[in-house]
Structure formats: C-alpha cells, structure tokens
C-alpha cells in the first residue's frame, strides 16, 4: 500500500515492503497518521482524555461513572466513544446496580441467552474464570454478530483481576478496512456473510433443544463491509467466532477470503492492549472494533461483568 504525498522523504517511507518468502509486508502504515493526529487534538469539557493506541483507545479521567451524571456529560462520553472507539475509566466505584444504570443511559440492554449472568442483574453477563472454569474468549470477534441486531457497545467492569495476565486487546476495524488494497475493497464491498451462534455456543445446547434455539436465533446475513450508523465510516465486519461463510461463494473461495480478511485484526499497529486493574471499566463500540481476551492467567481467578447495549441492524 502507498500514500500520495508531496514530500519525497515521506513518500519513500510510506512504501510497504513485501517479503514474498513469508507472504508478509513490513514498514509504516501511513494511513494511521490522519486519525492519530485528529485524536491527539481532541479536547473535552467534562473530563480529560488521552489517546492510548494510534487510532483506537482513550483513557478518560476526572469522572466517576457510578454517579448520576447529567445528560450533557453522557452525550460527551458517547462522542468520546465514537472518536476513540474504546474508552477506559480507571479506579471506578461501581456496584452491579450502578453498572446497569450507567450502561442504560446509552440504550436498552440485552440479556445473553447462552452466558451466565449476575444473579441480581440478568443484564450483566458474568465471566467468572478460575482453576475450574477456563477462558475461551481468546479470539478476535465482535459480540453477538449472530443476532439480527447486534450490540451497539459493551461496558465491561473488572471485579477481580489476576496478579498478571488477563489483558484485553482491541482492534480498530475502520483501520483494518482502510489498509486493504483498492481491488480487495471493490471485491468485498457488496458481499454478505452468514453469522451463526452455534459455532461457539452450539456445543452447550442439548440435542433436543437445538431446533428450538435455531428458531429463536436463525442464521443471519450481515454485510462483510459495514457502514457505521453514526460516523458513516466503512469497516470490516467479519470474524472467525461467528461467521460461517460468505453468502453465494464456493466454500474454498469463501474460506480463503474470510481467513485473509480476519487476519487484518492481527496487525499490531491497528490495536491497543488494556492491562486491567480492579475497578477498571472499559466501554467499547462493538460496531467499530473487535476484541480479544487473553487466556494466559489460568488457574488464577479473573471475574468480569459486562452490560451490552442493543444496537442496530448492520448495513
């Protein structure tokens, strides 16, 4: 990939170098620059913020989200979410009721049909990992893309973190799309992928309940390239967890293309990695990013709770 520039030195540096023996490219990603500089210049009225990754991640400070925040503060937090794609709040005092109350300020909350919840608040998925319960979220994905209407976003609260490990990584899927060459963009812009809950959650369903669950959660068809409903930007919207195949494409061709597109999330320059502390809250735009929860802390305990906000049908 190359970028047009009037500076010869910058033009030389902006050329990606292909290493054919290994099928990889190295070198700068010049398309990160504009967004990185935009985020660096943002200012806020009700809190301070600093960018974390090049184009994704912002840490907000000077605010407690467990309080009854005015509408104009909530509106500014929502704008920060759209800009940074993932926002981090450190050192929060938050019980389960306050967690639900905060997430509800951004929309109605969904109840997950396959994951255990907080006993008091069914809107909170509870990820309680230990020596007896392993973590299986260590793959790049957006949440519940197998729904007709997937999540707008998720608010994840660290209840108990291990002494080391257990980080969560996030990838900017706008940037992942922008990095594709023009021929690939043209090829995929009008394609649709089939999403299927059973690829991850089917193994836990009794045989006599599978037909009923399929009626409740049929295969859904979402665009491979989604347009964000609030920013208007295009992004890659496929993942290995929930995508079965590309609609209307031969199996081998579909698998090869999906594998290539999903590998875009592996690019470290498009990511940031959050190291958790007890009391942290991370709010991500599930329409714009994918995430990966590392599973490197077993058999230590890691307890997280997540509220997910109902979104809109991808287009």
Domain housing 51: 15-315
Residue 161 lies in a domain: yes
- Strand partners of residue 49: 60
Has residue 255 been placed in a domain? yes
> What are the tokens at 286?
């599930």
Whether 114 is in a domain gets the answer yes
For residue 33, give both structure tokens.
């620059």
In this structure, are residues 270 and 264 in contact, taking their beta carbons and an 8 Å threshold?
yes
Contact between residue 285 and residue 152 where contact means Cβ atoms under 8 Å apart: yes
Q: Contact at 8 Å (CB) between 90 and 282? A: no
Question: What is the distance between the alpha carbons of residues 99 and 66, in angstroms, rounded to a whole number?
Answer: 7
Residue 286 domain flag: yes
Tokens of 108: 């109605």
Helix (H) or strand (E) holding 309: strand 302-310
- Residue 2: inside a domain: no
Any domain includes 1: no
How far is the C-alpha of 47 from the C-alpha of 63, rounded, in Å? Answer: 6
34 belongs to a structural domain = yes
CATH assignment at residue 116: 3.60.130.10
CA dihedral (103, 97, 200, 271) in degrees, to 10, reads 50
Q: Name the token pair of 283.
A: 């709010």
DSSP state of 275: P
Q: Which helix or strand (DSSP H or E) is residue 8 part of?
A: helix 8-13
What's the pLDDT score for residue 203?
Answer: 84
Nearest to 244 by CA among 284, 277, 197: 197
SS3 at position 178? helix
Annotated active-site positions, please?
A: 141, 143, 291, 306
Q: What pLDDT, on a 0 to 100 scale, did the predictor assign at position 123?
A: 97
What pLDDT shows up at residue 11?
Answer: 57
Instruction: Give domain status of residue 159, yes or no.
Output: yes
The total number of structural domains in the chain stands at: 1
Interior CA angle at 174 toward 170 and 178, to 5°? 125
Q: How many residues does the chain have?
A: 315
115-153: b or e for each residue (b if 16 or more CB lie within 10 Å)?
eeebeebebbbbbebeeeeebebebbbbbbbbbeebbbb
Q: What is the pLDDT along the chain (315 residues), one digit of tens a residue?
A: 444 445 555 555 557 888 888 888 898 999 999 999 999 999 999 999 999 999 999 999 999 999 999 999 999 999 999 999 999 999 999 999 999 999 999 999 999 999 989 989 999 999 999 999 999 999 999 999 999 999 999 999 999 999 999 999 999 999 999 999 999 999 999 999 999 999 999 988 888 899 999 999 999 999 999 999 999 999 999 999 999 999 999 999 999 999 999 999 999 999 999 999 999 999 999 999 999 999 999 999 999 999 999 999 999
Sort strands 192-195 and 243-246 into parallel, antiparallel or unpaired.
antiparallel
């Amino acid at each position: 990939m190359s970028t047009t520039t009037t500076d010869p030195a910058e033009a030389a540096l902006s050329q990606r170098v292909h290493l054919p023996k290994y099928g990889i490219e190295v070198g700068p990603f010049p398309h990160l620059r504009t967004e990185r500089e935009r985020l660096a210049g943002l200012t806020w009225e009700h809190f301070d913020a600093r960018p974390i990754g090049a184009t994704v991640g912002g840490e907000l400070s000077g605010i407690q989200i467990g309080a009854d925040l005015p509408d104009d503060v909530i509106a500014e937090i929502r704008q920060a979410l759209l800009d940074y794609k993932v926002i981090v709040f450190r050192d929060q005092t938050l019980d389960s009721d306050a967690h639900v109350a905060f997430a509800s300020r951004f929309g109605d909350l969904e109840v997950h049909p396959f994951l255990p919840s907080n006993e008091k608040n069914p809107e909170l998925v509870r990820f309680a990992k230990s020596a007896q319960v392993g973590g299986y979220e260590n793959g790049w994905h957006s949440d519940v893309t197998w729904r007709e209407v997937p999540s707008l976003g998720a608010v994840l609260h660290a209840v108990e973190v291990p002494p080391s490990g257990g980080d969560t990584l996030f990838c900017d899927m706008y940037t992942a799309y922008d990095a594709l060459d023009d021929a690939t963009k043209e090829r995929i812009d009008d394609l649709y992928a089939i999403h299927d809950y059973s690829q991850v959650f089917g193994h836990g369903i009794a045989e006599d309940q599978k037909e009923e669950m399929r009626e409740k959660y049929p295969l859904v068809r979402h665009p491979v390239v989604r347009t964000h409903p609030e920013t208007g930007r295009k992004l890659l919207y496929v993942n290995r967890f929930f995508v079965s195949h590309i609609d209307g494409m031969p199996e081998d061709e579909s698998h090869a293309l999906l594998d290539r597109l999903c590998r875009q999330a592996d690019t470290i320059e498009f990511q940031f990695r959050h190291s958790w502390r007890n009391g942290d809250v991370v709010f991500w735009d599930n329409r714009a990013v994918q995430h990966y929860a590392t599973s490197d802390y077993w058999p230590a305990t890691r307890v997280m709770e997540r509220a997910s906000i109902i979104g809109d049908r991808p287009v």
